[in-house]
Structure 1
Amino acid sequence: MSEPLQVNPLAEVSLRRVGREGHPLLVIDDVLLEPDALVAIAAEAPFSPPTGTYYPGLNAPLPRSYLETLLPVLRPSFERAFAITSDTPLVANGFFALATHRLEDFGPWQKIPHYDQLRPDHLAMVHYLCRGQGGGTAFFRHRTTGFESVTQQRRETYLITVQDELDRVGDKLSGFTGPDTPNFDMTDSVEIRFNRLIVYRSNVLHCALFDGARLEANVHAGRLTANCFFRPR
């Protein structure tokens, strides 16, 4: 039987604000005491292409023990960073993720920043479980609208504007999302580091940075992450 997952009591927690809108970005380094135990679990997990998402690779189920271990310990940091009240129950779900698609496999919407959900009280988390990888996660401002996040009220304006831009300049999207992506300005970024975890609002415009990443279907050599989402019940 594998050892139970444990949170590192000496994990380094930092909080900063992103962009003009000042969205919280929580960064926690060395979050698990034995992160390789989680990688070993991923090595035995049944990865497959996801359905109904734009994720450029493979997903697999996370063990229940992962979120059961993390959430109670991280909850105080969530409350401080995102103004979640202590009596608000949170629903969590997530998956292992391996980015495997090559640039030529990306569609236009996968070459620009995106948001996950429209509600600002929904949170997204990425836990980097890979070594020797380039890239990370970046946050963006859409130049035409000035939006750094997308709410229900902003959604129609944003989607219509971006689709029009893609129709006009989609052929200029010649690389992965990054500081040179047309019509977007990168406002901040977090570098990949093994056993680093980041949390941000799900409606913030963001994207994985794949430049320098090894996009392989191998949990020991590829860009392995644990991706999770939290919402009020």
Structure 2
Amino acid sequence: MLASKPSANVKVYGIGSDDAKILVVDDFSDSLADIQKVACGNLDYRPDGKTSYPGLRACLPDDYVHHVLAFCEPLLRSEFSIPQARRPEVSMAYFSLLTTNESELSVMQRLPHFDTTKRHYYAVLHYLNEGEFGGTGFFRHLPTGFEAISTEKRELYQQSVLSFMAVKGFPQPGYMGESSRQFQCYEKVDYRCNRLVMYPGRLLHSGLVSQQRDVCSDPARGRLTANVFIDFETS
């Protein structure tokens, strides 16, 4: 079903103050229409039950996931110096569709998040639909200066977030913008149809979502992405 374009343009960007990297691949798939067709087929979109993603998800086809893994693995190994002894495992793989109205977001859904504290766990994000949708922002937590949450930083970070809200109050209902009293967006990747983005899962990040622009329950018209999470720390 899927083929990468031979001309796929891979760019590596250093971001933030922690020597982090993100990889951006434009014009990734030569079979995008096939992927979109599957996404709009008879799939069971529902909350994933594992994360706080503010929308609905459906399982990605196995051949798509296998292809993404085969494409991304050597790039991730090279750029992040992943030992060959560490074998990759796909922990989650979904079509993702933003459907939650901003008035219905939980407090934590109004903040940037991290996927894991693991060092070698990576998120792969593929923007699938044409449209002027919001991209993805990477954030610095201002009270601590943290941009990535390791196991050692997790407790301090979580305590600091809660303490800040206890004094300053909860964030107003709505999706995360590019800045707030507690977080600063220091880098963003624009949404572009058929763009693939890879980044460490412990980076603080968020979709840069507009209620009017991005929230839609139709996979043919909404902010549709494919999300594959690759874990090199299971072995």
Asked if Structure 1 and Structure 2 have the same fold, meaning a TM-score greater than 0.5 normalized by the shorter chain, the answer is: yes
Which residue number in structure 2 is paired with residue 231 of structure 1? 231
Listed one character per residue, the Cα deviations across residues 26-50 of structure 1 (whole Å, up to 9, x for unaligned) are: 0011111021210111112211122
Alignment correspondent of 1:169: 168
Question: 2:214 aligns to what?
Answer: 214
Q: Distance in 1 between matches of 2:98 and 2:221?
A: 11
Letter in 2 for 1:225: T
Residue 65 (str. 1) matches residue 63 (str. 2): yes
Runs of 5+ consecutive residues of structure 2 not aligned to the other structure: none
CA offset at residue 97 of structure 1? 0.4
> Bigger shift: 167-176 or 36-45?
167-176
**Residues 128 and 21 (structure 1), Cα distance of their counterparts in 2 relative to 1, 3 Å cut:** same
Match runs of 1:104-119 below 5 Å: 104-119=103-118
- Name the CA distance, whole Å, in 2 between partners of 1:78 and 1:209: 25
Q: Write the mapping of 1:1-233 to structure 2, written as runs, cut at 5 A.
A: 4-44=1-41, 45-92=43-90, 93-211=92-210, 213-232=213-232, 233=234
Amino acid at match of 2:195: R
- The Cα of 1:168 is off from its aligned counterpart by 2.7
Root-mean-square deviation (Å): 1.5
- Aligned-partner Cα distance in 2 for 1:209–1:161: 23
Query: Percent identical across equivalent pairs?
Result: 31
Write the distance in 2 (CA, Å) between the matches of 1:66 and 1:169. Answer: 45
Q: How far apart, CA to CA, are the structure 2 residues paired with 1:87 and 1:210?
A: 39
Counterpart amino acid of residue 231 in structure 1: D
Q: Secondary structure at the match of 2:169?
A: helix
What stretches of structure 1 of length at least 5 have no aligned partner? none
Per-residue CA deviations over 1:84-106 (Å, capped at 9, x if unaligned) read: 23453200131110011111011
1-structure distance, mates of 2:214, 2:150: 33
Name the CA distance, whole Å, in 2 between partners of 1:83 and 1:131.
34
Deviation at 1:145, TM superposition (A): 0.7
TM-score, reference length from structure 2: 0.93
TM-score of the aligned structures, taking structure 1 as reference length: 0.94
Write the letter of the residue equivalent to 1:25: I
Is the Cα contact below 8 Å between 1:108 and 1:170 reproduced in 2?
Answer: no
